Amino acid sequence: MSSIRKATHAGSWYSNSERELGGQLERWLDAAELSHGPARAIIAPHAGYSYCGACGAFAYRQVSPICVKRVFILGPSHHVRLAGCALSSTLKYSTPLYDLTIDQGIYDQLYSTEQFERMSLSTDEDEHSIEMHLPYIAKVMEDFRGQFTIVPILVGSLTPDKEALYGRLLAPYLADPANLFVISSDFCHWGQRFRYVNGADRANGHIHEFIQQLDREGMDIIESLDPVKFTQYIQRTGNTICGRHPIGVLLNAVAKLNETPNGHRMKLKFLKYAQSSQCRSPSDSSVSYASASLIFE
């Protein structure tokens, strides 16, 4: 087992300078309003910080670090085809701020279900969907450095049944107020390079408005916390939400908790939406970003 996963996207997708990165994150967090916390789960983007860093702050601003002992990070697999979910083979994840320790006890519990495989170090270090959240986690939790652990989970291309399975497995952890769930997802990837140009023939030069309407419909369904409706939305629209499977797992975990005798009153709210650029012609392209917070009422 390798002892540490390097911060392979530092210096390109975000600053590798502790001072510069810390200051940037602090400015974004200060500019975001605390309006839907304390978060038990958040949805936040994972692109380069120059594109989505400010948007992501709206999710992380809802986190109350004093409550958090463990951070689950569910990120989609971009490079390796997985039918299930995989766990890291390392002990720590490196960030320019400080290293984050993986909770091996929780990993042992997850491995015992026989539903999780181990990812290679190369797969781990090639993937950005988990790494892009690590500096934000380190910054938000900096006053409690060394007092919390992380649980990185790489989520594959799951069927609806598999999303329900992993939702059931993770529901008890979501119910624990000491745990924070980070769901890593960008929203619509629009353009020929993403092989998704829905709406180009009827948006009349306002493709970016069509994209926003498409994303807003999906965000409204996610806020309803209905995993079946979300699956139907993805199947109907084909919206290229890269973290749709981690989102599906979260929605199924919520649904499982709602089945318990006493139930849980939960509310998810989207707090910020942004696009990397405004598409006006079929030759344009963009990626959408959204931040949300789930609270237990």
Which domains does the chain possess? 4-296 (3.40.830.10)
User: Identity (one letter) of the amino acid at 147?
Assistant: Q
Give me the long-range contacts of 25-30 (CB less than 8 A, separation at least 24): 25/53, 25/57, 25/135, 25/136, 25/139, 26/139, 28/53, 28/54, 28/56, 28/57, 29/57, 29/60, 29/61, 29/139, 29/140
State residue 99's pLDDT score: 98
Q: Are strands 116-118 and 85-87 parallel, antiparallel or unpaired?
A: parallel
| Cβ atoms 183, 152 nearer than 8 A | no
The parts of the chain modelled with pLDDT lower than 50 are none
Residue with tokens 């519990």: 109
Residues 115-128: tens digit of each pLDDT: 999 999 999 999 99
Look at the chain and count its residues: 297
Picking from 7, 44, 100, 13, the residue whose alpha carbon sits closest to that of residue 274 is 44
**Can you say whether residue 278 is alpha, beta or left, with left for phi > 0 and alpha for psi between -120 and 50 degrees?**
beta
Write out the chain in H/E/C secondary structure: CCCEECCCCECCCECCCHHHHHHHHHHHHHHCCCCCCCCCEEEECCCCHHHHHHHHHHHHCCCCHHHCCEEEEEEECCCCCCCCEEECCCCEECCCCCCEEECHHHHHHHHCCCCEEECCHHHHHHCCCCHHHHHHHHHHCHHHCCCCEEEEEEECCCCHHHHHHHHHHHHHHHHCCCEEEEEECCCCEEEHHHCECCCCCCCCCCHHHHHHHHHHHHHHHHHCCCHHHHHHHHHHHCCCCCCHHHHHHHHHHHHHHHCCCCCCCEEEEEEEEEECCCCCCCCCCEEEEEEEEEEEC
Residue tagged 């400015």 (tokens): 27
- One-letter identity of residue 264: H
Read off the tokens for 255.
């649904």
Confirm whether pTM is higher than 0.85.
yes
pLDDT tens digit sequence for 39-84? 999 999 999 999 999 999 999 999 999 999 999 999 999 989 999 9
- Tokens 């988990």 belong to residue: 130
Show the tokens assigned to 191.
């353009």
Predicted confidence at residue 1, as pLDDT, reads 58
